[in-house]
Structure 1
């Protein structure tokens, strides 16, 4: 079930029907990441560079290479900070484009079912912001475990697998259900949804490809929600109304 949902979501990434959404998601993600990079770089220059310039003149001439080393380390730190922000950024963008992706998947693969209902703009923004906060907290926990051998990689997948699986599934479920019912349905199928979240976390860990995480995760969870609903007699009727 999970692998089938992931396969269908991967096919959906490059289908003609989702091409417009594809470019929207990719373009907005790159713009946001570029803005974050400039903001982090400006903050570093404003806060750290004056201290460095004060310190370096006191060094002997042969130690000028320390400035180059410091710049390289700083660049690596900025890149790491940007990588840690990638998950929250994709989470925020997902809230803006999930309904577009879900509509394409539902029309193409589930034409016989009743169409889902897009969340109101205010509710979608509020949900995206809530998810943004949850993901930031989760990644701070993972960062705290970064230097614990044998735990850091596991922490990345567990934290992001749980958060991404939970929130993307509820986004998909709320096209057919109330928020309370969507949460109840998620809790009932929590192990399956967590495994699906691990697949999304693995997708997120692939450089460059991870920029398409919102598109992939949205499509995958739409498929997973449909499949779980069909197998659950207490929830399946919603798809046919």
Structure 2
């Protein structure tokens, strides 16, 4: 399958000397984005959630503070749900640099041009917001969705991440409308690779390198299907 081939090529790029420096910087940026997003989450709990909760041996405590400090204690678990929006933000900040290095290594005669940074950042911010909404809605609807909750979570996030990373890769070579048309023509392949990325983002420790992998894999995917 094409998406598996692109994913395998992306994995191989993570260990290339020419890309490994970008991988390390990308991991650092991923961690910073994760901490920033978690800080916003912590602040949001404390500022906007009212009411009290009763704890044994402690008594009543503000619910917002309980959720905020609890999110710090459960940081690895929280990371499962926050890494998808982090990856969406990463695509606006850094993915183009990874794509440029991958193209210089594998496709020297088919290198693209970097799109406008602010346009990319605004688009990735919109996708990050959508991913956050999907994550929150899935968590809230889990009692109703039951065993379908993971299907909704990975399916929706896979589609959103696939859309964002593929557009990033394609916009280096063509106008946005043409890139969108190409993505729609290959919707199943793009979404399957997005779902694979969404799943990998929920694997602790490994997930900090996945945004770099996504940028590399979708660069390969674009190059393969546009030949």
Separation (CA, whole Å) in 2 of partners of 1:27 and 1:129: 19
Aligned to 1:114: 110
Separation (CA, whole Å) in 2 of partners of 1:202 and 1:92: 17
Alpha-carbon spacing, 1:135–1:108, altered in 2? closer, same or farther (3 Å):
same
Separation (CA, whole Å) in 2 of partners of 1:5 and 1:86: 21
* SS class of match (2:120): helix
Which TM-score applies when normalising by structure 1? Answer: 0.79
Give 1:207's match in structure 2, choosing from 189, 204, 208. 204
Aligned to 2:57: 64
Alpha-carbon spacing, 1:37–1:115, altered in 2? closer, same or farther (3 Å):
closer
Per-residue deviation, residues 5-24 of structure 1 (Å, max 9, x unmatched): 11110111222112222122
Give 2:120's match in structure 1, choosing from 120, 124, 127. 124
CA shift for structure 1 position 44? 4.8
Cα RMSD between the aligned structures?
2.9
Per-residue deviation, residues 158-208 of structure 1 (Å, max 9, x unmatched): 111111111111111111010000000111111111111121122112111
How many residue pairs were aligned? 220
* SS class of match (2:219): helix
- Determine whether 1:160 maps to 2:157: yes
Whether contact under 8 Å (1:142, 1:159) holds in the other structure is no
* SS class of match (1:145): helix
CA shift for structure 1 position 90? 1.8
- Higher gyration radius (CA): 1
- In structure 1, runs of 5+ residues without a counterpart are 57-62, 231-241
Q: After the TM superposition, which of the residue ranges 154-163 and 173-182 deviates more from structure 2?
A: 154-163
* SS class of match (1:177): coil
Alpha-carbon spacing, 1:39–1:182, altered in 2? closer, same or farther (3 Å):
closer
Aligned to 1:136: 132
Alpha-carbon spacing, 1:229–1:29, altered in 2? closer, same or farther (3 Å):
same
Aligned to 2:86: 89
* SS class of match (2:7): helix
CA shift for structure 1 position 145? 3.0
Q: How does 1:222-237 map to 2 (within 5 A)?
A: 222-230=219-227
Alpha-carbon spacing, 1:38–1:227, altered in 2? closer, same or farther (3 Å):
closer
CA shift for structure 1 position 98? 1.3
Aligned to 2:8: 7
Per-residue deviation, residues 36-69 of structure 1 (Å, max 9, x unmatched): 44454455567779956xx77xxxxxx516689x
CA shift for structure 1 position 31? 2.1
- In structure 2, runs of 5+ residues without a counterpart are none
Separation (CA, whole Å) in 2 of partners of 1:137 and 1:44: 16
Aligned to 1:27: 28
Aligned to 1:60: none
CA shift for structure 1 position 114? 2.8
Whether contact under 8 Å (2:42, 2:68) holds in the other structure is no
CA shift for structure 1 position 143? 2.4
